[in-house]
């Protein structure tokens, strides 16, 4: 997997990569299809839906605990900016790049190590 300076993954024909969702979402093993219109690249993850500052303002530790109940991870004030709701829906992100990558396998999040 090759990551460019802009954060996009290389998605050349047959090249494998991983596209992660948020700390509470699934991730995807993908194979590039070599779409020249995208410079043979794809997104490198879900991407933020809001700033870290906004996430810290909007959500609580209890929100973090609830949103990551199915994941073994930190659940404290130091990671509220990583709360799943601060990120875009990974399913929508993947649907938007169907012409860039083929999903080979879907991974269910069970552990997330942050900080």
State the catalytic residues: 44
Which residue, chain included where needed, has tokens 């303002």? 57
Write the DSSP string, 30-89.
EEE---GGGTSEE-SS--BSS-HHHHHHH--HHHHHHHTTTSBS--SGGGGGG-GGGB--
């Amino acid at each position: 997997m090759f990551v460019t300076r802009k954060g996009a993954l290389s998605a050349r024909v047959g090249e494998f990569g991983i596209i992660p969702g948020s700390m509470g979402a699934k991730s995807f093993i993908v194979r590039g299809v070599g779409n020249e219109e995208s410079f043979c690249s794809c997104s490198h993850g879900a991407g933020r839906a809001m700033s870290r500052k906004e996430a810290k303002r909007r959500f609580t530790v209890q929100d973090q605990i609830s949103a990551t109940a199915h994941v073994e991870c930190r659940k404290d004030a130091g990671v509220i900016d990583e709360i799943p709701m601060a990120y875009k829906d990974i399913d929508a992100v993947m649907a938007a790049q169907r012409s860039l990558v083929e999903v080979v396998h879907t991974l269910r999040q069970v552990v997330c190590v942050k900080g």
